[in-house]
Copies of this chain bind each other. A is one copy, B any other.
Amino acid sequence: MSLRKSSLYCAANLSAFYGPGALNRATVKGSSLKTSDTEQIRLANRKLVVDYLRVHGPVARVDMGPVLKLSPATVTSITSDLQKEGLLVEVPAPSDNVVSRGRPRVLIDLAVDTQFVIGVKLSINEIRLMLGNQKGSIVKTEVIELQTLALSREGLTEALCSALRMFIAKLPVSQKPKAVGLAVQGVVNGHQGEVVWSPALADKHIELKAPMQHELNVPVLVANDANCLAMAVRQQPKYQQLTDFAVVMLGYGVGMGMVVRGELYAGHHGAAAEFGHTKYSPDGAQCLCGKRGCIEAYVGDYALYRDAAAVVRLPQDDHLHPNEDRMMELVELADRNDAAVLDLFERAGRVLGYGVANYIALMSPETIVFSGPGIRAYRHLEAGIRQGLSSALVSELICETSLEAVPWDDDMTGLGVIALALQEVD
């Protein structure tokens, strides 16, 4: 007899991530799949092709089918549709120093200038607006400084909308955005498009998606910055095909974005994954959230700098709000083998490893990626991370989970939120 193989029916739906309730609708066992929905399958396959080209293009048509498990006929049909719509272009393959006979090989890629979205990054006293093209690149940036902590909730919506309106007004018609993505530090309910709490804002529970959509008349999504970072990492060719991994965002606080079964995951209440507020120790160090012993209270920039101020001579600053220069000075102290600072980073690493152990025990992931501005100190954290992990978790549960660092640059949140916004358009 033949053993039944598990058949499968699950298609790309990253865009469901941030729709209101979309996650639920998408996952109630595919309940809205209709027998007649071949059109939906066509769209899903088209999405696969677009996603792949965005990350890997230019590529040869023939190379795409095997990776995406689509038939040559399907690939040809989808790519010729995209080409007719002006979304896809043919580019000559680079010559490979061999005198080739016959037709020159042709590669395909997404056209860069046919569809645009805007990514907005809201942080303390700054609104950063970025125009993204179809390939997910940032082609124009504008920064607006304002006192975010002084804004009322209506004032915030108005400030964001007017910044966007001015930004859009200066764009040629061909670059008008088809969607807007907003990346916010803090706790975000992605389903509701609500900022639950952010260090950049005085008020809590500010709904942004609905009023901004109403004002701007384009789809708006709101995402936590760590989830945006996870999306940016996922746009890197090495990570695009991974299905179950997490990205730890090290910085002022500590965040996480998780990819589960190939899709970014925000959980039922839309607030996942607040790794920084999982715990290291009951009654441990004071966290900015109000509780004690959170991972972030040992590993976040503010925690490292606050603790360093107690043991080494540092500028008489606001030790709870170190800027990048201050943090780099701390790293340089460690580079020069300052024992107290090395100790601090090593302890932070151990705490991080301990937190990662909890994640691995629960989620059995393929990979844990570390990134974010705090990656500047990774060389001083890494041994501690591995030590924390192996002291917390038996090897049978660590499995083959790999720990990796991805370099950080300031554009990553923007690239991630643009990638999310593009999924509204695809």
Closest CB of chain B to A81's CB: distance in Å? 12
Considering the chains assembled together, what is the distance between the CA atoms of A358 and B281 in angstroms? Answer: 12
**A269 interfacial by beta-carbon distance below 8 Å:** yes
Query: Are B291's CB and A392's CB within 8 A?
Result: yes
Q: Which of B3, B37, B218, B366 is A41 in contact with, Cβ under 8 Å? A: B37
Q: Chain B contacts of A13 at CB under 8 A?
A: 6-10, 30
Q: Chain B contacts of A361 at CB under 8 A?
A: 273-275, 277-278
Could you give, for residues 12-56 of chain A, a 1 whenever the CB lies within 8 Å of some chain B CB and a 0 otherwise? 111110110011111111111111011011111100100100000
Closest CB of chain B to A125's CB: distance in Å? 22
Q: Chain B contacts of A16 at CB under 8 A?
A: 6, 8, 10
Query: Are A280's CB and B282's CB within 8 A?
Result: yes
Total A residues in contact with B, Cβ cutoff 8 Å: 108
Query: Are B11's CB and A364's CB within 8 A?
Result: no
Query: Are A11's CB and B40's CB within 8 A?
Result: no
Closest CB of chain B to A45's CB: distance in Å? 6
Stretch in A115-123, A254-262, A303-311 with 4+ CB within 8 Å of B = A254-262
Considering the chains assembled together, what is the distance between the CA atoms of A286 and B260 in angstroms? Answer: 32
Query: Are B394's CB and A291's CB within 8 A?
Result: yes
Query: Are A35's CB and B40's CB within 8 A?
Result: no
Q: Which of B68, B261, B271, B424 is A27 in contact with, Cβ under 8 Å? A: B261
Can you name the residue of chain B whose Cβ is closest to the Cβ of A204? Answer: B396
Q: Chain B contacts of A245 at CB under 8 A?
A: 268
Q: Which of B19, B24, B273 is A5 in contact with, Cβ under 8 Å? A: B19
Query: Are A362's CB and B275's CB within 8 A?
Result: yes
Query: Are B27's CB and A269's CB within 8 A?
Result: no
Query: Are A397's CB and B26's CB within 8 A?
Result: no
Q: Chain B contacts of A27 at CB under 8 A?
A: 10, 243-244, 261-263
Considering the chains assembled together, what is the distance between the CA atoms of A40 and B274 in angstroms? Answer: 37
Q: Chain B contacts of A143 at CB under 8 A?
A: none
Query: Are A268's CB and B243's CB within 8 A?
Result: yes
**A357 interfacial by beta-carbon distance below 8 Å:** yes
Q: Chain B contacts of A268 at CB under 8 A?
A: 243-245, 364-366
Closest CB of chain B to A72's CB: distance in Å? 12
**A70 interfacial by beta-carbon distance below 8 Å:** yes
Q: Chain B contacts of A19 at CB under 8 A?
A: 5-6
Known contacts: A9-B13, A48-B31. The answer to whether A38 contacts B38 by CB under 8 A is: yes
Q: Chain B contacts of A38 at CB under 8 A?
A: 35, 38
Could you give, for residues 392-420 of chain A, a 1 whenever the CB lies within 8 Å of some chain B CB and a 0 otherwise? 11101101110000000000000000000
Q: Chain B contacts of A10 at CB under 8 A?
A: 9-11, 13, 16, 26-27, 30, 33
Closest CB of chain B to A148's CB: distance in Å? 19
Query: Are B31's CB and A273's CB within 8 A?
Result: no
Considering the chains assembled together, what is the distance between the CA atoms of A71 and B209 in angstroms? Answer: 32
Known contacts: A34-B71, A243-B268, A394-B290. The answer to whether A261 contacts B23 by CB under 8 A is: yes
Q: Chain B contacts of A5 at CB under 8 A?
A: 19, 22
Q: Which of A18, A258, A392 has the most CB of B within 10 A?
A: A392
Closest CB of chain B to A404's CB: distance in Å? 14
Closest CB of chain B to A242's CB: distance in Å? 8
- Excluding A35-B42, A279-B358, A290-B394, 4 further A-B contacts by CB distance (< 8 Å) are A6-B16, A8-B13, A33-B45, A279-B357
Enumerate 29 A-B pairs (CB-CB under 8 Å) in ascending A order.
Answer: A4-B425, A6-B25, A7-B40, A8-B33, A10-B30, A12-B29, A23-B261, A29-B262, A31-B48, A33-B41, A34-B45, A35-B41, A35-B74, A204-B396, A260-B260, A268-B366, A269-B366, A269-B399, A270-B364, A271-B399, A274-B362, A274-B364, A277-B397, A280-B282, A281-B281, A282-B354, A291-B391, A358-B358, A359-B362
